[in-house]
Copies of this chain bind each other. A is one copy, B any other.
Amino acid sequence: MDHPLIGLPIEDLDTPTLLLDGPACDRNVRRMAEFFRDRACRLRPHFKNHKCTALAHRQQQAGFTVGFTCAKLGEAEVLAAAGIRDLLIANQVVGRRKTARLIELAGRADLTVAVDHPEQIAALSEAASGAGVTVGVLVEVDVGMGRCGVAPGEPALELARLVVGRPGLRFRGLQAYEGHVVYQTDFDERARQVREAMRHALETRKLIEDRGIEVAAVSGGATSTYRITGALDGVDEIQAGTYPTMDWRYRQNAPEFEVALSILARVISRRAGLAVLDVGAKGVGSDFGPPRVKGYDVEIRLPLSEEHCIVRNAPDWPLGQTVELLPSHACTTCNLYRAMVVHADGRVADVWPIEGSGRLQ
């Protein structure tokens, strides 16, 4: 049955509401897919951006994808329930109960997980072989981000050797995320830094292959680096996440995509030069800066109130006026909502549940 909001003018919606400009999102999705048309490299979109399976299906239908990337086991469970079966968890899954859940999921999906520690490999192997399933494994290489992963070269080779031939595990290659350079605003400098970072992964690939171990995939990349990382010989998968929704901050580095995500907010209090909107830190991610107001050059200062944005130098908005806030960070924003309202031509076109919202485990 159609959702009761369909057809409503968006300015009539209760606020705050998470909005997605349907046509803009479609253009973003098609544009990214087209980059991969004549390449060996494939797109493995990162689900963490929006956590919405309806949107994930659109990404898949646009073509040139090879499954999805997830940040968490819970996200992979959501995608599997929606029928998407080639799943990479690009992080370490640690802990007895969570490993058991991962093995259960591996029984009904083509599941790959990142590892960076011998103990993690041993625990995965024991659980997978005990259950009679096979889990794909990427050894995570730290290419400069300084978060997870082992050092490139010999330490990565050593882990790959630990995986190869281990019961219940299948060595698939390397996870290598150049996350420390994705926000470099100058494209040429970013390209230089990306190549320098990914060189570590590609040299490690060669080292492993030289020892006769097959590397099916080197997986990495982002919305701001896909044109660089995705053009490198030896990179097989790009894990871009933000491109369908975008946000104002990331658009500075990927201007070919449109900001399709916004939060509809309403003026609930006002006085000369100041307007208060009914959304705050609980309704818009501000970890990368304050939101902007679409179409207006106004200032919102941090920290936000929990349920209010205070707009300085506000124009003459009447009480009840709706505005669209453009978030600085799409991923932490989508995580705050249970659904996104898809709109076209100023009206509600659809309502998509965000099934992965709050799936942190």
Interface set of A (CB-CB < 8 Å, partner B):
12-17, 48, 71-72, 91-98, 101, 116-117, 119-120, 146-149, 266-270, 274, 276, 278-279, 281-283, 285-288, 302-308, 310, 319-320, 331-332, 335-338, 357-358, 360-361
Contacts and interface: CB of A to CB of B under 8 A. Distances in A.
A290 to B, nearest CB: 11
Contacts of A304: 287
A216 B328 CA distance: 43
Contacts of A360: 16, 279, 282-283, 307, 336-337
A138 to B, nearest CB: 14
A94 B288 contact: no
Contacts of A335: 282, 336
Contacts of A307: 48, 71-72, 91, 360
Contacts of A267: 94
Contacts of A93: 268
A276 B148 contact: yes
Given A48-B306, A310-B147, A268 B91 contact: yes
27 contacts: A12-B96, A14-B95, A15-B361, A72-B307, A91-B307, A94-B267, A95-B266, A117-B270, A119-B320, A120-B319, A147-B276, A147-B308, A148-B268, A148-B269, A148-B276, A148-B308, A279-B360, A281-B285, A281-B287, A286-B287, A287-B303, A306-B331, A306-B332, A335-B336, A336-B358, A337-B360, A338-B358
A65 to B, nearest CB: 21
Contacts of A101: 14
Q: Which of A92, A119, A266, A335 has the most CB of B within 10 A?
A: A92
Contact of A332 (B14, B116, B266, B281): B281
A17 B74 CA distance: 13
Contacts of A336: 335-336, 358, 360
Nearest to A282: B335
- Nearest 10 CB-CB pairings of A with B: A148-B269, A92-B268, A94-B268, A14-B361, A283-B360, A71-B307, A282-B335, A287-B303, A281-B287, A119-B319
Contact of A97 (B13, B96, B268, B337): B13
A4 B325 CA distance: 41
Contacts of A306: 48, 71, 331-332
Contacts of A274: 146
Contacts of A149: 269
Q: Which of A48, A98, A310, A338 has the most CB of B within 10 A?
A: A98
Contacts of A276: 92, 147-148
A12 B97 contact: yes
Given A91-B268, A117-B319, 10 more contacts: A15-B361, A48-B306, A94-B319, A119-B320, A120-B319, A147-B308, A148-B269, A149-B269, A306-B332, A335-B336
Nearest to A284: B360
Contacts of A288: 303
Contacts of A305: 147
Nearest to A148: B269
A279 B359 CA distance: 12
A56 to B, nearest CB: 17
